[in-house]
Structure 1
């Protein structure tokens, strides 16, 4: 097993320390998606107007499309042996990569805080205590333990979450079939393009927001691991897990009047005599994904800091300190979270789509179509080397990709003019991908200077 606490952070994982098989990616992402926040995400499609059947179809389309993009990021991990956002320096420059990094940290904090609220409710149910702060703080401490131990233990937790998720969610599905006329939920509302596109956006947004850290959890795989194996294991684990959870969410939102007011409590009541076991399943599933948020958040913070001091390696003590600091902030946010959880979460996911789809488009276009998987790894840590401080091509493309989405937004505080013409349908993420790729690809082809081959770590 080696050291109990992971010794690596933002540095390249050497060949001698590579281990594992792609199946670990399946269990990690399946377990991380078999959790209550994914259930809430699926429920949102019904809450905001979609028929249960079309919500499930739309969520599936979004999960598949977003899952393809997310898994393409994962396939970079074994090849480079690097955390995801370090590799972004090849596109944005050593300093320029800090721009999306700041937004990534906000994303991780948002997901960690909102997930902690739900997990804290489940812990309170298990412990039979009242104050919400108790469950939130306990869950934060549990996350800190696993996240600071690092990569191997996060994967172990993923395997545990997979088994618990399958058992728990299968039981909940059976209970739903027994207590609710599921067939009557389908076709209860007419087909509506606006709510259908929202369901697609919710599924796609869920997957796309994993992109900035997915390679963090595949970077220890041997460098000769076939990319298609890493891709398929990540894709199938993430899409099957999330779709299973979101389908349950769509059905309970359509058939359960109490779900909207108390998501965790409703699932416990649905479980009946084994409610406490379902609360435990909820905690384990949330712990799996929250460790990803905390671990990825610390990597992102370290990537930001080391851009300016040219450090190539950070020890486990410093990584642990950043992880604990990140979790402390997320717990504080959770303690003061808005009560209007569902509506805020919907807007949070869709806002993140606006800033992360252009990043994904640039990263994947450069890696697969322009650099063709050739990365000068030492230059990623040196602002005076090949990739420089700022890459104007990537940064301009990134901001144009964000700006192009504004007329297509459908947010709580702003609805774009094109969105109003479309009847309220939010397709901004599609526009962001297309516009960013169309601008970046031809421009970068003329200006890029990729290395002749990948330099091994």
Structure 2
């Protein structure tokens, strides 16, 4: 049997509860993990999209900040659940959807992780190829896939180490790039070029919010090892500040470089994001260091995607197979399947990267805002942080196999957003009437919570106190 994560070897815990004896660390680890995972090249691309699709640079930065703050708050509320429950995020969602019912959003979560892993692997692969002076895209992609597999297999502790390293090198590298940008270009000229437009401003807000909200289904996976007595407030703020500061810094850089006129190099970034960063650094040895910064930042977040994907796949299977633990061999197989799929997609990825990525993020926002609304409404307002943990693994227990009320609210929350969508393939009638403003994610959050709350208050039967595996279920009555 592999040693425990706390002992420094390969992590052996997966979807089971983390025992008190294996809890460790402080909330500082949440700040560095999420700062490092957000200060990276894909966040730069995400920020650039606001300008690419029509927003003025100033209003794009403000819109992205509003979205990051709002979405970051929702994401950090999920993180605060980790220390108290000691569970992966999607296992805890069985309390809302049922042991089997949780599989419905879980399938979409796996698709999300694969998509983000593939898009991130494309960019990291480009950086590795630039370091090695290799033209074949598959070379860098395969090397990066191998690095991600190593970090994911070792697990929680190494992932946090990568986050700390990414924070340090990210601050140094991105600060240097910001100085070079100010020194080499007339940055002030990119602001005020276009007037304020509601539609493009709300797109920027949606891009920032979507970026943060898509972390929701796995954020507690990385706080669940913290001691149970860890302050929820401290966990919230460490996660929130790390994620929002890291992402806003990177997105602001993306806004500025995308807003540069073609004559000043703006077109170079839109066609070759990684190469532009190397050129901005000044080329030569310094560019190689920036490429390594890009690889480390992408490794931080890609490890989260692969780890979360593996845990989510296992959560789906375990719900039906009635298992709580898996062998080291099974762990490797799950991780290999996930990463193999993402690497293949990365190799054959479309050249229209920016446009596809924008639509990918906004589609994910559509399917995950209702999930967040249900999970947070139930945990904080209905169950009031009281969960019967053993019942999360028993379809005949308190939470049952399927919670039709929660599943119905989830489907309603997704469908209700359709008239408000602003997508490449479809624009909703309400969105057209609003001039293209995308409000779908707000509708998904507010409507889902408003419908779910009264239903859950009537049908939910939370325990009167938290029930952990060490306790007898009989010791806590149904509330």
How many angstroms apart in 2 are the aligned matches of 1:345 and 1:166? 25
CA contact (8 A) 1:83 1:219 kept: yes
1:238 maps to: 243
Is the contact between residue 11 and residue 314 of structure 1 (CA under 8 Å) also seen in structure 2? no
State the Cα distance separating 1:363 from its structure 2 match.
0.1
Of stretches 153-162 and 177-186 in structure 1, the one that deviates more from structure 2 is 177-186
How far does the alpha carbon of each residue in 1:65-89 deviate from its partner, in whole angstroms, 9 at most, with x for none? Answer: 0000000000000000000000000
Shift of residue 147, structure 1, vs aligned partner = 0.6
Structure 1 position 4, deviation (Å)? 1.2
DSSP 3-state at the match of 1:238: helix
Matched, 1:440 2:445: no
Number of paired residues? 457
Deviations 1:271-296 (A, max 9, x none): 00410000000000000000000000
1:413 to 395, 413, 425: 425
Q: Is the 8 A contact 2:83 2:229 kept in 1?
A: yes
Q: CA deviation at 1:320?
A: 2.3
Distance (whole Å) between structure 2 residues aligned to residue 148 and residue 66 of structure 1: 29
- How far residue 309 of structure 1 moved from its aligned partner, in angstroms, is 1.1
Which ranges in structure 1 are unaligned for 5 or more consecutive residues? none
The separation in 2 between residues aligned to 1:324 and 1:143, in whole angstroms, is 10
Match of 2:43?
Answer: 38
Correspondence 1:184-333 to 2 at 5 A: 184-255=189-260, 256-273=266-283, 274-333=286-345
Deviation string, structure 1 residues 139-190 (Cα, Å, up to 9, x no partner)? 0000000110000000000000000100000000000000111111110111
CA distance in 2, matches of 1:108, 1:198: 22
Distance in 2 (CA, whole Å) between partners of 1:454 and 1:104 is 27
RMSD: 0.7
Q: Which range moves more in the overlay, 331-340 or 313-322?
A: 313-322
| Paired residues for 1:83-98 under 5 Å | 83-98=88-103
Over residues 355-407 of structure 1, what are the superposed CA-to-partner deviations in whole Å (9 max), with x where a residue is unaligned? 00000000000000000001100000010111001001100000000011000
**What CA distance in whole angstroms lies between the structure 2 residues aligned with 1:241 and 1:85?**
25
Q: Distance in 1 between matches of 2:304 and 2:163?
A: 10
TM-score normalised to structure 1 length: 0.99
Which residue does 2:30 correspond to in 1?
A: 25
1:189-216, Cα deviation, whole Å (9 max, x unpaired): 1111111000000000000000000000
Match of 2:58 among 46, 49, 53: 53
Give the 3-state SS of the residue equivalent to 2:111 in structure 1: helix
Kept in 2: contact 1:34–1:165 (CA 8 A): yes
2:8–2:157 contact (8 Å) kept in structure 1: no
Task: Give, in whole Å, the separation in 2 of the partners of 1:254 and 1:413.
Answer: 26
Q: Assess if the C-alpha contact under 8 Å between 1:121 and 1:132 holds in 2.
A: yes
2:134 to 115, 118, 129: 129
Q: CA deviation at 1:456?
A: 2.4
Structure 2 unaligned regions, length at least 5: 1-5, 261-265, 470-479
Cα distance in 2 between the residues matched to 1:134 and 1:253 = 28
Q: 1:3 offset after TM fit, Å?
A: 4.3
Shift of 1:240: 0.1
Q: Pick from 158, 163, 174 the counterpart of residue 168 of structure 2.
A: 163
| Contact map agreement 2:88 2:221 (CA 8 A) in 1 | yes
Which has the larger displacement, 187-196 or 219-228? 187-196
For the pair 1:147 / 2:147, whether they are aligned, the reply is no
Q: CA deviation at 1:112?
A: 0.2
Give 1:172's aligned residue. Answer: 177
Q: 2:397 aligns with which of 385, 390, 393?
A: 385
